[in-house]
Structure 1
Amino acid sequence: MILVLGGTSDSLAICDKLNKYPNLSYIVSVTTEYGKTITKKHTTDVLLGKLGQEDMINLIKTKSISIIIDATHPYAVEVSKNAISSAKLTGIKYIRYERKSLIEGISYENKFIVNSIDEACEIANNKGKNIFIGTGSKNLDVYVDKIKNKNLVARVLPTSEVLLICEKLGLNADNIIAMKGPFSVSMNKETYEHYNIDLVITKESGAQGGFLEKVSACEQLNIPIVIIAREKLNYPKVITDLDELESLI
Protein backbone atom coordinates (compact mmCIF):
# COMPACT_ATOMS: atom_id res chain seq x y z
CA MET A 1 0.00 0.00 0.00
CA ILE A 2 1.21 3.49 -0.92
CA LEU A 3 0.35 6.62 1.03
CA VAL A 4 0.09 9.75 -1.12
CA LEU A 5 0.16 13.00 0.82
CA GLY A 6 -1.95 15.21 -1.40
CA GLY A 7 -4.14 18.26 -1.70
CA THR A 8 -2.31 19.64 -4.75
CA SER A 9 -2.59 19.38 -8.52
CA ASP A 10 0.64 17.38 -8.35
CA SER A 11 -1.02 14.72 -6.20
CA LEU A 12 -3.87 14.41 -8.70
CA ALA A 13 -1.37 13.78 -11.49
CA ILE A 14 0.27 11.14 -9.28
CA CYS A 15 -3.12 9.47 -8.78
CA ASP A 16 -3.58 9.31 -12.54
CA LYS A 17 -0.13 7.78 -12.87
CA LEU A 18 -0.80 5.16 -10.16
CA ASN A 19 -4.17 4.31 -11.70
CA LYS A 20 -2.30 2.82 -14.65
CA TYR A 21 -1.28 -0.03 -12.35
CA PRO A 22 -4.50 -1.88 -11.37
CA ASN A 23 -2.69 -4.15 -8.91
CA LEU A 24 -1.22 -1.19 -7.04
CA SER A 25 -3.20 -0.02 -4.01
CA TYR A 26 -2.87 3.46 -2.53
CA ILE A 27 -4.60 5.91 -0.25
CA VAL A 28 -4.51 9.71 -0.50
CA SER A 29 -4.40 11.95 2.56
CA VAL A 30 -5.84 15.48 2.31
CA THR A 31 -6.58 18.16 4.89
CA THR A 32 -9.60 20.00 3.46
CA GLU A 33 -13.07 19.15 2.19
CA TYR A 34 -12.21 20.82 -1.10
CA GLY A 35 -9.10 18.67 -1.40
CA LYS A 36 -11.20 15.58 -0.74
CA THR A 37 -13.78 16.57 -3.36
CA ILE A 38 -11.28 17.09 -6.18
CA THR A 39 -9.24 14.01 -5.22
CA LYS A 40 -12.38 11.83 -5.29
CA LYS A 41 -12.56 12.55 -9.02
CA HIS A 42 -9.29 10.65 -9.45
CA THR A 43 -9.48 7.90 -6.83
CA THR A 44 -11.84 6.45 -4.23
CA ASP A 45 -9.64 5.87 -1.18
CA VAL A 46 -9.26 9.35 0.33
CA LEU A 47 -8.53 10.15 3.97
CA LEU A 48 -9.59 13.56 5.29
CA GLY A 49 -7.80 15.12 8.26
CA LYS A 50 -4.47 16.49 9.42
CA LEU A 51 -1.87 13.85 10.25
CA GLY A 52 0.65 14.43 13.00
CA GLN A 53 3.65 12.15 13.32
CA GLU A 54 1.87 9.73 15.66
CA ASP A 55 -1.18 9.63 13.37
CA MET A 56 1.03 8.94 10.37
CA ILE A 57 2.90 6.13 12.10
CA ASN A 58 -0.39 4.52 13.17
CA LEU A 59 -1.68 4.78 9.60
CA ILE A 60 1.52 3.22 8.24
CA LYS A 61 1.11 0.27 10.60
CA THR A 62 -2.65 -0.28 10.24
CA LYS A 63 -2.66 0.08 6.44
CA SER A 64 0.68 -1.71 5.90
CA ILE A 65 2.08 1.30 4.07
CA SER A 66 5.39 0.56 2.33
CA ILE A 67 5.95 3.87 0.48
CA ILE A 68 5.09 7.50 1.22
CA ILE A 69 4.82 9.80 -1.78
CA ASP A 70 4.84 13.35 -0.48
CA ALA A 71 3.10 15.61 -2.99
CA THR A 72 2.01 18.29 -0.54
CA HIS A 73 2.33 22.00 -1.24
CA PRO A 74 5.95 23.27 -1.25
CA TYR A 75 5.15 25.32 1.86
CA ALA A 76 3.51 22.51 3.87
CA VAL A 77 6.86 21.85 5.53
CA GLU A 78 5.50 20.50 8.82
CA VAL A 79 3.65 17.72 6.99
CA SER A 80 6.80 16.86 5.06
CA LYS A 81 8.89 16.82 8.25
CA ASN A 82 6.38 14.46 9.89
CA ALA A 83 6.38 12.22 6.82
CA ILE A 84 10.18 12.04 6.67
CA SER A 85 10.51 11.16 10.35
CA SER A 86 7.59 8.68 10.22
CA ALA A 87 9.13 6.89 7.26
CA LYS A 88 12.48 6.73 9.01
CA LEU A 89 11.01 5.43 12.27
CA THR A 90 9.00 2.72 10.51
CA GLY A 91 11.68 1.80 7.98
CA ILE A 92 9.67 2.51 4.84
CA LYS A 93 10.51 4.41 1.65
CA TYR A 94 9.87 8.16 1.39
CA ILE A 95 9.67 9.96 -1.97
CA ARG A 96 9.21 13.70 -2.31
CA TYR A 97 7.64 15.02 -5.51
CA GLU A 98 8.85 18.61 -5.67
CA ARG A 99 7.81 21.32 -8.09
CA LYS A 100 10.84 22.78 -9.81
CA SER A 101 12.02 26.06 -8.34
CA LEU A 102 11.71 29.00 -10.72
CA ILE A 103 12.94 31.76 -8.46
CA GLU A 104 16.50 31.89 -9.83
CA GLY A 105 15.19 32.55 -13.33
CA ILE A 106 13.28 35.70 -12.35
CA SER A 107 15.02 38.71 -13.93
CA TYR A 108 12.47 41.33 -12.83
CA GLU A 109 14.43 43.83 -10.76
CA ASN A 110 11.55 45.24 -8.70
CA LYS A 111 11.30 42.13 -6.54
CA PHE A 112 12.00 41.32 -2.91
CA ILE A 113 12.90 37.74 -2.01
CA VAL A 114 12.27 36.97 1.66
CA ASN A 115 12.32 33.89 3.87
CA SER A 116 9.25 34.49 6.01
CA ILE A 117 5.80 36.05 6.18
CA ASP A 118 7.09 38.44 8.85
CA GLU A 119 9.68 39.81 6.41
CA ALA A 120 7.00 40.17 3.73
CA CYS A 121 4.75 42.09 6.13
CA GLU A 122 7.61 44.39 7.09
CA ILE A 123 8.09 45.36 3.44
CA ALA A 124 4.33 45.77 2.96
CA ASN A 125 4.18 48.21 5.85
CA ASN A 126 6.55 50.48 3.95
CA LYS A 127 5.16 50.15 0.42
CA GLY A 128 2.02 51.83 -0.89
CA LYS A 129 -1.55 51.45 0.32
CA ASN A 130 -3.21 48.54 -1.50
CA ILE A 131 -1.54 45.20 -0.81
CA PHE A 132 -2.42 42.08 -2.80
CA ILE A 133 -2.11 38.83 -0.83
CA GLY A 134 -1.60 36.05 -3.38
CA THR A 135 -0.66 33.30 -0.94
CA GLY A 136 -4.12 31.85 -0.29
CA SER A 137 -6.07 31.67 2.96
CA LYS A 138 -3.43 29.93 5.06
CA ASN A 139 -1.65 32.39 7.37
CA LEU A 140 -4.03 35.15 6.29
CA ASP A 141 -4.44 35.97 9.97
CA VAL A 142 -0.73 36.84 10.16
CA TYR A 143 -1.02 39.36 7.32
CA VAL A 144 -4.11 40.95 8.89
CA ASP A 145 -2.32 41.20 12.23
CA LYS A 146 1.06 42.46 11.05
CA ILE A 147 0.24 44.75 8.11
CA LYS A 148 -1.07 47.96 9.65
CA ASN A 149 -3.19 50.74 8.14
CA LYS A 150 -3.22 49.21 4.67
CA ASN A 151 -5.98 47.95 2.40
CA LEU A 152 -5.51 44.20 1.98
CA VAL A 153 -6.91 42.35 -1.03
CA ALA A 154 -6.74 38.57 -0.66
CA ARG A 155 -7.35 36.10 -3.47
CA VAL A 156 -8.61 32.82 -2.01
CA LEU A 157 -10.45 29.65 -2.97
CA PRO A 158 -14.22 30.13 -3.35
CA THR A 159 -15.31 27.73 -0.61
CA SER A 160 -17.58 28.45 2.35
CA GLU A 161 -14.86 27.29 4.74
CA VAL A 162 -12.33 29.78 3.36
CA LEU A 163 -14.79 32.66 3.10
CA LEU A 164 -15.77 32.13 6.73
CA ILE A 165 -12.10 32.43 7.72
CA CYS A 166 -11.89 35.71 5.80
CA GLU A 167 -15.02 37.09 7.43
CA LYS A 168 -13.82 36.18 10.91
CA LEU A 169 -10.64 38.14 10.20
CA GLY A 170 -12.71 41.22 9.39
CA LEU A 171 -12.26 41.07 5.62
CA ASN A 172 -15.33 42.06 3.61
CA ALA A 173 -16.39 41.83 -0.03
CA ASP A 174 -14.02 44.66 -0.98
CA ASN A 175 -11.07 42.71 0.42
CA ILE A 176 -11.84 39.25 -0.97
CA ILE A 177 -11.40 37.80 -4.45
CA ALA A 178 -12.87 34.29 -4.32
CA MET A 179 -11.59 32.46 -7.40
CA LYS A 180 -9.82 29.23 -8.24
CA GLY A 181 -6.53 29.53 -10.10
CA PRO A 182 -4.10 29.32 -11.68
CA PHE A 183 -4.55 32.69 -13.41
CA SER A 184 -3.21 34.08 -16.67
CA VAL A 185 -0.98 37.14 -16.95
CA SER A 186 -3.86 39.18 -18.39
CA MET A 187 -6.22 38.21 -15.56
CA ASN A 188 -3.60 39.12 -12.97
CA LYS A 189 -3.01 42.46 -14.68
CA GLU A 190 -6.72 43.25 -14.75
CA THR A 191 -7.00 42.34 -11.07
CA TYR A 192 -4.03 44.47 -10.02
CA GLU A 193 -5.28 47.43 -12.04
CA HIS A 194 -8.87 47.11 -10.82
CA TYR A 195 -7.79 47.19 -7.17
CA ASN A 196 -5.02 49.76 -7.72
CA ILE A 197 -2.49 47.35 -6.23
CA ASP A 198 0.78 48.87 -5.02
CA LEU A 199 2.48 45.65 -3.87
CA VAL A 200 1.97 41.93 -4.51
CA ILE A 201 2.93 39.24 -2.00
CA THR A 202 3.24 35.69 -3.31
CA LYS A 203 4.90 32.37 -2.65
CA GLU A 204 7.25 30.55 -4.99
CA SER A 205 4.52 28.07 -5.86
CA GLY A 206 5.99 26.82 -9.14
CA ALA A 207 4.59 26.66 -12.65
CA GLN A 208 1.48 24.77 -11.51
CA GLY A 209 0.56 27.56 -9.10
CA GLY A 210 0.76 30.34 -11.69
CA PHE A 211 3.86 31.87 -10.12
CA LEU A 212 5.41 33.15 -13.34
CA GLU A 213 2.13 34.73 -14.44
CA LYS A 214 1.99 36.76 -11.22
CA VAL A 215 5.56 37.96 -11.67
CA SER A 216 5.02 38.80 -15.35
CA ALA A 217 1.90 40.85 -14.58
CA CYS A 218 3.82 42.80 -11.94
CA GLU A 219 6.69 43.40 -14.33
CA GLN A 220 4.38 44.71 -17.07
CA LEU A 221 2.74 47.11 -14.60
CA ASN A 222 5.97 47.88 -12.71
CA ILE A 223 4.42 46.77 -9.42
CA PRO A 224 6.90 45.55 -6.78
CA ILE A 225 6.49 41.91 -5.81
CA VAL A 226 7.51 40.16 -2.60
CA ILE A 227 8.35 36.49 -3.07
CA ILE A 228 8.42 34.26 0.00
CA ALA A 229 11.03 31.60 -0.74
CA ARG A 230 10.55 27.94 0.13
CA GLU A 231 12.07 26.54 3.28
CA LYS A 232 14.79 24.11 2.27
CA LEU A 233 14.37 20.63 3.72
CA ASN A 234 16.78 17.71 3.57
CA TYR A 235 14.50 15.30 1.69
CA PRO A 236 15.79 11.69 1.56
CA LYS A 237 14.65 11.32 -2.05
CA VAL A 238 13.37 14.03 -4.41
CA ILE A 239 11.93 13.73 -7.90
CA THR A 240 10.64 16.50 -10.16
CA ASP A 241 9.37 14.36 -13.03
CA LEU A 242 6.43 11.97 -12.75
CA ASP A 243 8.13 9.54 -15.12
CA GLU A 244 10.78 8.99 -12.44
CA LEU A 245 8.07 7.67 -10.14
CA GLU A 246 7.49 4.50 -12.14
CA SER A 247 10.97 3.15 -11.41
CA LEU A 248 10.58 3.80 -7.67
CA ILE A 249 7.26 2.15 -6.86
Structure 2
Amino acid sequence: MILFLAGTSDARELAIEMQQVGYKVLATVVTESAAKSLQDAGISTRIGRLSAEDMTSLISAKGFQAVVDASHPFAEEASKNALNGAKAANVPYIRYERESQRFQNDKLIVVR
Protein backbone atom coordinates (compact mmCIF):
# COMPACT_ATOMS: atom_id res chain seq x y z
CA MET A 1 0.00 0.00 0.00
CA ILE A 2 1.15 3.56 -0.74
CA LEU A 3 0.60 6.62 1.45
CA PHE A 4 -0.26 9.40 -1.00
CA LEU A 5 -0.28 13.10 -0.09
CA ALA A 6 -2.78 14.69 -2.43
CA GLY A 7 -3.01 18.43 -2.80
CA THR A 8 -3.80 19.32 -6.40
CA SER A 9 -6.00 18.14 -9.26
CA ASP A 10 -2.85 16.63 -10.77
CA ALA A 11 -2.44 14.59 -7.59
CA ARG A 12 -5.99 13.28 -7.87
CA GLU A 13 -5.35 12.09 -11.41
CA LEU A 14 -2.05 10.47 -10.40
CA ALA A 15 -3.70 8.64 -7.48
CA ILE A 16 -6.40 7.33 -9.81
CA GLU A 17 -3.83 6.14 -12.35
CA MET A 18 -1.78 4.41 -9.66
CA GLN A 19 -4.82 2.60 -8.34
CA GLN A 20 -5.91 1.62 -11.87
CA VAL A 21 -2.58 -0.11 -12.51
CA GLY A 22 -2.87 -2.10 -9.29
CA TYR A 23 -1.32 -0.09 -6.47
CA LYS A 24 -3.45 0.23 -3.35
CA VAL A 25 -3.48 3.89 -2.30
CA LEU A 26 -4.51 5.77 0.83
CA ALA A 27 -4.62 9.49 0.08
CA THR A 28 -4.23 12.07 2.81
CA VAL A 29 -5.90 15.43 2.26
CA VAL A 30 -6.67 18.50 4.32
CA THR A 31 -10.23 19.31 3.21
CA GLU A 32 -13.54 17.47 2.99
CA SER A 33 -13.99 18.54 -0.64
CA ALA A 34 -10.63 17.07 -1.65
CA ALA A 35 -11.55 13.83 0.13
CA LYS A 36 -14.91 13.65 -1.62
CA SER A 37 -13.30 14.10 -5.02
CA LEU A 38 -10.92 11.20 -4.36
CA GLN A 39 -13.57 9.02 -2.73
CA ASP A 40 -15.83 9.53 -5.76
CA ALA A 41 -12.98 8.06 -7.82
CA GLY A 42 -12.69 5.03 -5.49
CA ILE A 43 -9.60 6.21 -3.58
CA SER A 44 -9.47 5.63 0.19
CA THR A 45 -8.79 8.86 2.07
CA ARG A 46 -7.72 10.26 5.40
CA ILE A 47 -8.55 13.87 6.26
CA GLY A 48 -6.32 16.04 8.42
CA ARG A 49 -2.82 17.37 8.82
CA LEU A 50 -0.09 14.96 9.91
CA SER A 51 3.11 15.72 11.81
CA ALA A 52 6.27 13.76 10.99
CA GLU A 53 5.58 11.57 14.03
CA ASP A 54 2.00 10.99 12.86
CA MET A 55 3.30 9.99 9.44
CA THR A 56 5.82 7.57 10.93
CA SER A 57 3.13 5.98 13.13
CA LEU A 58 0.66 5.70 10.24
CA ILE A 59 3.27 4.21 7.90
CA SER A 60 4.27 1.62 10.49
CA ALA A 61 0.71 0.79 11.61
CA LYS A 62 -0.63 0.30 8.08
CA GLY A 63 2.53 -1.23 6.58
CA PHE A 64 2.91 1.31 3.79
CA GLN A 65 5.64 0.44 1.34
CA ALA A 66 6.25 4.00 0.10
CA VAL A 67 5.18 7.61 0.47
CA VAL A 68 4.25 9.61 -2.63
CA ASP A 69 4.18 13.32 -1.95
CA ALA A 70 1.93 15.05 -4.48
CA SER A 71 0.99 17.82 -2.08
CA HIS A 72 0.57 21.40 -3.22
CA PRO A 73 3.88 23.06 -4.16
CA PHE A 74 3.43 25.59 -1.33
CA ALA A 75 2.69 22.92 1.30
CA GLU A 76 6.26 22.93 2.54
CA GLU A 77 5.44 21.70 6.04
CA ALA A 78 3.48 18.71 4.69
CA SER A 79 6.36 17.75 2.40
CA LYS A 80 8.89 18.11 5.19
CA ASN A 81 6.77 15.94 7.49
CA ALA A 82 6.26 13.32 4.78
CA LEU A 83 9.99 13.17 4.04
CA ASN A 84 10.91 12.88 7.71
CA GLY A 85 8.14 10.37 8.41
CA ALA A 86 9.17 8.16 5.50
CA LYS A 87 12.82 8.35 6.54
CA ALA A 88 11.99 7.43 10.15
CA ALA A 89 9.82 4.50 8.97
CA ASN A 90 12.53 3.45 6.48
CA VAL A 91 10.33 3.54 3.37
CA PRO A 92 10.96 5.30 0.05
CA TYR A 93 9.81 8.90 -0.32
CA ILE A 94 8.84 10.02 -3.82
CA ARG A 95 8.05 13.67 -4.59
CA TYR A 96 5.75 14.36 -7.56
CA GLU A 97 6.47 17.74 -9.13
CA ARG A 98 4.14 19.05 -11.73
CA GLU A 99 5.54 20.90 -14.69
CA SER A 100 6.07 24.62 -14.13
CA GLN A 101 3.78 26.94 -15.98
CA ARG A 102 5.33 29.41 -18.34
CA PHE A 103 3.57 32.47 -19.68
CA GLN A 104 4.21 34.39 -22.83
CA ASN A 105 4.98 38.03 -22.10
CA ASP A 106 2.18 39.28 -24.35
CA LYS A 107 -0.39 37.35 -22.29
CA LEU A 108 0.88 38.30 -18.85
CA ILE A 109 -0.07 41.59 -17.28
CA VAL A 110 1.98 42.61 -14.25
CA VAL A 111 0.17 44.88 -11.82
CA ARG A 112 2.19 46.88 -9.29
TM-score range (shorter-chain normalised) is 0.7 to 0.9
Residue number in structure 2 paired with 1:33: 32
Report the equivalent of 1:96. 95
Residues 105-155 of structure 1: CA distance to partner in whole angstroms, max 9, x if unpaired?
5563xxxxxxxxxxxxxxxxxxxxxxxxxxxxxxxxxxxxxxxxxxxxxxx
Which has the higher relative contact order, 1 or 2, with Cα contacts under 8 A spaced 6 or more apart?
A: 2
1:63 aligns with 2:70: no
Task: Find the counterpart in structure 2 of residue 224 from structure 1.
Answer: 111
1:174-230 Cα offsets, whole Å, 9 max, x none, are xxxxxxxxxxxxxxxxxxxxxxxxxxxxxxxxxxxxxxxxx93x53xxx426xxxxx
Q: Secondary structure at the match of 2:21?
A: coil
1:74 alignment partner, SS class: coil
Cα distance per residue 1:147-167 (max 9 Å; x no partner): xxxxxxxxxxxxxxxxxxxxx
Give identity over the alignment, percent: 34
Per the TM alignment, residue 21 of structure 1 is displaced from its structure 2 partner at its CA by 2.5
How far did residue 10 of structure 1 move? 1.5
Q: Shift of residue 41 of structure 1?
A: 1.6
**Contact kept in structure 2, 1:2 and 1:66, CA below 8 Å:** yes
State how many pairs are aligned. 112
Following the alignment from structure 1 to structure 2, what is the Cα–Cα distance between the partners of residues 83 and 31?
14
Q: TM-score, normalised by structure 2?
A: 0.88
Q: Is 1:8 the equivalent of 2:34?
A: no
Matched, 1:79 2:78: yes
Shift of 1:69: 0.6
- Per-residue CA deviations over 1:75-118 (Å, capped at 9, x if unaligned) read 0010001111111111110111111223xx5563xxxxxxxxxx
Indicate the structure with greater helix content. 2
Counterpart for residue 19 of structure 2: 19
Taking structure 1 as the reference length, the TM-score comes to: 0.42
Bigger Cα Rg: 1
